Amino acid sequence: MGRAFEYRKATKLKRWGNMARTFTRIGKQIAIAVKEGGPDPDNNPHLRSVIQNAKAENMPKDNVDRAIKNAMGKDQRDYKEMNYEGYGPHGIAVFVETATDNTTRTVANVRSVFNKYGGTLGTSGSLDFMFNHKSVFTIAKKEGMSADDLILELIDLGADEDYDEDDDSITIYAGFPDFNGLQTYFESNGFEIQSSEITRIPVELKELSAEERQVIDKIVDKLEDDEDVQNVYTNLKPIDDEE
């Protein structure tokens, strides 16, 4: 699972590079979480997770509180989570997650990027087999804790046997449906959750030359510039993971 960790690390650094866009995207996630489970983080696991990630991205508490308050307003936009899937040049799979109040606008913008750079927008679900939909938690180690023993305890909650570990933290992977159960376990047992997310990890990575990858980078950059786009995933092998 180490290679999955390196892929996730490389793509996350790229994805959250612009602070203003990051705060806008987190604001939409807060709005969606509030609509799903209400404005009280104590009773809304999804909202707790978004707030935790907002802290990790240094989003000011005032911004978070304002986003929650706005999400309860009568004039709050009704965001829908929509996915778009397709292929860029050289057979690179591109999976786009969005949160939008205007699906007509969003699909037109996404299709325009694919068309401009020689890609093809596919049908919903066409790339499901190419990405594993994963829950990922990074928790701080407790003194004297055995990572192997912890994972054995978490397997019944859906955790994968493989994990990533460094001196101070453990990164745990699980299936998409297992997110709430693991979050509740960590909170109930006094673990410090450093980050939590639901992500898509490619089953296999495809390597391109420096020249070939330039057009894929342009597609990803243009998609991420769209305010409706939350995440962009590809099966392109990150530079940091190449020999």
Residue 63 domain-assigned? yes
pLDDT of residue 73: 82
Residue 38 domain-assigned? yes
Residue 158 domain-assigned? no
Residue 36 domain-assigned? yes
Residue 120 domain-assigned? no
Within its chain, how far is the Cα of 236 from the centroid? 16
pLDDT class of 21 with cuts at 50, 70, 90? confident
List, in order, residues 6 or more apart from 217 with CB less than 8 Å away.
none
Q: What percent of the chain has pLDDT over 90?
A: 73
Residue 213 domain-assigned? no
Provide the 3-class DSSP secondary structure of residue 9: helix
Q: What is the CATH number of the domain that holds 55?
A: 1.10.10.200
Supply the range of the domain harboring residue 38.
2-71
Residue 195 domain-assigned? no
Over the stretch 189-224, which tens digit does the pLDDT of each residue have?
999 998 898 999 999 999 999 999 999 999 999 999
Q: What separation in angstroms does the CA of 214 have from each of 135, 167, 218?
A: 30, 35, 6
Residue count of the chain: 243
Over the stretch 42-54, which tens digit does the pLDDT of each residue have?
899 889 989 988 9
Q: How many domains does the chain have?
A: 1
pLDDT of residue 88: 97
